[in-house]
Structure formats: C-alpha cells, structure tokens
Amino acid sequence: MVLTQPSNPTVVVDKVSDLLTVDGVEWDVEKLHGLFNEEVCNQIVSIPPDREQGGDRWVWEHDNKGVYTVKTRYRNAMLDEWSLFNVDCESVKNFWKRWMRIDENCVMCNNAPEDVYHAVIDCPDLQYMWVEAIFDYNSRVYHANALEWLVVEVREWKDKELAALAIVTYYAWERRNKKKFSNEFIRVEELWSRVERAMDETQLALCSVDSCREYPVGSEWGKPAHPFVKVNVDAALKKEGGGVLGGLIHDEDGCCLGVYMNAISYPNDPIKLEAMVVKQGLELALKVGCKNVIVEGDAMLVMEFLKMPCGQSSSLNALCRDVLRFCNNFEHVVLIGFLELVILQLILFAELLR
C-alpha cells in the first residue's frame, strides 16, 4: 500500500506507533483522519496492528535488511556521484543488452523493445509492483539485466526474498501473456496479493502434517450441540473493489440468533476478506451473549491459518492473529473450514447485484 503525503495534516506524528491507541491494541482513528483521507484510513484500519512484531530498532535505510555494510554505503555514494555527473543510465542499459533483437514493442507499455528484463522487471507498467513489494528490490535499478542483478545481489538475500521474486516475476510474465494472447488485462496491484497468498499456502503446508489434517465428509449443515452456537460466515469480492461480508448465528434448535451484512471498500483480496468476516462473525456472537462458538466458512486457507498459526510475515497472518486474540473473549471456539454456504452465498450475490 502506497500512502500519499498529507497535504494539510492536523496531527503531528513521528512514528507509526503514534497512530495507535494508548494501549497499542488498535489504530487511533481520530489521528488517522487528521492525516489521511477516508479511503486511506479504511485501508490502514483494515489491517490490525501486530503487537508481536517486536520493538523499535536502529536500521540503515539504504539496505533492505537495515544493516550497514561497506557495499551498501558504496552503492549509495555512487548514486550520489552519478547524479552529479548526470549519467545517462539508459546508455549503460543499452550497452549490456543481449545481442538478440526483438522487433516487437512491449505489449504492456508499447514504449520499448521487449526483452525478458523489460517484460518482468523494468517495464514502466510494472513499477507499482516494485513499490508494493513485500521486500526491498531497489537494487535492481543499479543493474542492466536480470542475470547481472541476481549474480551480484542474491547472495545477501534470504530464501523468502528469492522465492517471492521468483513468484512475482512468474505472475508478471503470466500477466503479459494473457494481455498478448487473450487480450485479458490483470491489474498490477493484484500481483503481490497473489504472491502473499502463494507464500502463505506454502508456509502452511510446511507447518502442517497431512496425516493429521481433517477433511470434510459431507456438505450438509448440522445443528450445533448444546451449549455451542454455530456462526456461518462468507465473503464476496466486488468488481469495483472491496467486498461484501456476511454471516448468521444459529443455536442448537436451529433458531437464528443474529445476522449481519456489510460492504467495505478495502481490501481487494478475497482471502483477506474471508479472514475479516470471521472476526465480524465472532464480534456478533459476543454481542448476543454467546460463549461457546463454532465458526464455519469455506476459506480453507484462512481456517488452516487460524488452527496452525505460522511465522509467515504477511497481512493475512496479521489478520488471523487478530482473530485469535479476539477468541480469548470466549470459553470455546471451534473453527471448521469446509462448508459451502449456499444460502449465504446467494444472499451475498444478491447484494452485489444491487
């Protein structure tokens, strides 16, 4: 998420922690509205603060790991020198281009001849992808091709950084091919959400044991046993962005104790919406006085993350941790992630058609 600088801020803050409440549990909405517009505030509030990420520490801003080294200082100094002499970086790039020429322009920007480096890394149409990257890949601007970049830089990267780069460049190439051969356009803003989801799924697979995983044996809805109530939740993505969240609560007799439905403008990721709808379902259950709750949803990835929280640093994991913290308000919470909620999905679909 990229934030624009506030034009007329009414609140002065020095650190991100200044935007939290006194206990550090939630965002201070009043301060946020004093700095940002409504859309940005909604985007910030949609991801809860993660109190488990640790305290502040000193970092070197010109290194992706925050560590001062001679190499990063030299690189930063050279950047200053190049700016003084007004070096034409395009001339350097042209010098390193491969001998093979491609007569076609890039299908995405139509401004430059297309080679692999341009198609998945250097295309102007992809620059927002690097701005939103979960790791710092700014060192790419100092190199003229992908091979040179990886040979020089990759030895200092963690495995996750290299894995994320491999996934996102694959998605960038897939995006290019769909545009070229099927005239299908994929928004560049969606790429990193897909990368996070792929890495979350991989991390979950490494944390779990297949032999211990329970799989569904049917799709019929069943009444909860006393003293439990059952919360059925689901979310749907809206075409224009954001989504619709909804759920309902039944007791052991099948009587409906509560229903909720609301639309939000952010995030645009269906998996994150599924995590948020679980939290809202639990909030409704607490409001109507329930203490023993079964939560059913059809987002297997979210439910598995809630059952086996991993150390993956992602916005989905932050949302799931927030849900688990809220579960402390109940005596028992059981999470089931396999039921197709046909009726609720029809309600959500009708809401989207309004």
Shared domain for 245 and 170, answered yes or no, is: no
Report the C-alpha dihedral over residues 249, 250, 252, 254, rounded to 10 degrees: 180
**Strands across the sheet containing 292-296:** 256-264, 243-250, 229-237, 292-296, 332-336
In a domain, 254, yes or no: yes
- Out of 186, 214, 238, a domain closes at 186
Average pLDDT of the residues in 249-270: 89
Q: Which of 74-83, 121-130, 227-236, 287-296 is predicted least confidently?
A: 74-83
pLDDT at 29 over 70: yes
Q: Cα(323)–Cα(305) distance, rounded to whole angstroms?
A: 11
Cα–Cα distance between 145 and 41 in angstroms, integer? Answer: 38
332-336 and 292-296 beta bridge pairing: parallel
Enter the pTM of the model. 0.56
Give the pLDDT confidence score for residue 115 in this predicted structure: 80
In our burial notation (b when 16+ CB lie closer than 10 A, e otherwise), range 25-49 reads eebeeebbebbbeeebbbbbebbbb
Residue 51 above 60 pLDDT? Answer: yes
Higher model confidence: residue 143 or residue 279?
279
pLDDT given at position 292: 94
**Greater model confidence, 352 or 275:** 275
Supply the pLDDT for residue 200: 81
Task: Give domain status of residue 126, yes or no.
Answer: yes
- pLDDT attached to residue 63: 65
Highest mean pLDDT (candidates 43-47, 113-117, 140-144, 175-179) = 175-179
The reply to whether 235 and 338 lie within a common domain is: yes
Q: Tell me: do 155 and 244 sit in the same domain.
A: no
* Residues 340, 234: Cα–Cα separation, whole Å: 9
Q: Report percent pLDDT > 70 for the chain.
A: 73
334 within some domain: yes
Residues 166 and 248 in one domain: no
Q: Give the CATH number of the domain where residue 244 resides.
A: 3.30.420.10
Residue ranges making up the domain that contains 114:
88-186
Most confident of 100-114, 116-130, 199-213, 296-310: 116-130
Please report whether residue 111 resides in a domain: yes
Mean pLDDT across the chain, nearest whole number?
78
Measure the CA–CA gap between 153 and 126, rounded to whole angstroms: 21
More confident residue, 118 or 330: 330
The answer to whether residue 337 is domain-embedded is yes
In a domain, 36, yes or no: no
- pLDDT value of position 72: 66
**Range among 80-94, 149-163, 249-263 rated most confident:** 249-263
Among 154, 186, 218, the domain boundary falls at: 186
More confident residue, 160 or 217: 160
Q: pLDDT at residue 96 above 90?
A: no
Say whether both 130 and 241 belong to one domain: no
Same domain membership, residue 239 and residue 182? no
- The answer as to whether 240 is a domain residue is yes
273 and 345 inside one domain: yes
- pLDDT of the residue at 299: 83
Same domain, 149 and 237: no
Q: How far is CA 96 from the centre of its chain?
A: 35
Contacts of residue 258, Cβ cutoff 8 Å, sequence gap at least 6: 248, 249, 284, 285, 287, 288
Binned at pLDDT 50, 70 and 90, residue 70 comes out as low
pLDDT of 346 reads 53
Amino acid letter, 80: D
Final residue of a domain: which of 186, 201, 221?
A: 186
Q: Say if residue 240 is in the same domain as residue 334.
A: yes
Same domain? 324 vs 235: yes
Distance of CA 277 to the CA centre of its chain: 16
Same domain, 154 and 266: no
Per the structure, the count of domains in the chain is 2
Specify if 278 maps to a domain.
Answer: yes
Between helices 191-207 and 300-307, what is the axis angle to 10°? 50
Chain segment 191-242, per-residue pLDDT in tens: 988 888 888 877 776 665 544 444 444 455 678 888 999 999 999 988 888 8
- State the pLDDT at residue 95: 42
pLDDT of residue 339: 42
User: Residues 348, 250: one domain?
Assistant: yes
Whole-number pLDDT of residue 329: 95
* Distance from C-alpha of 265 to C-alpha of 237, rounded to nearest angstrom: 10
Q: What is the pLDDT of residue 218?
A: 46
The string of pLDDT tens digits covering residues 268-315 is 888 889 999 999 999 999 999 999 999 988 888 888 788 776 666 778
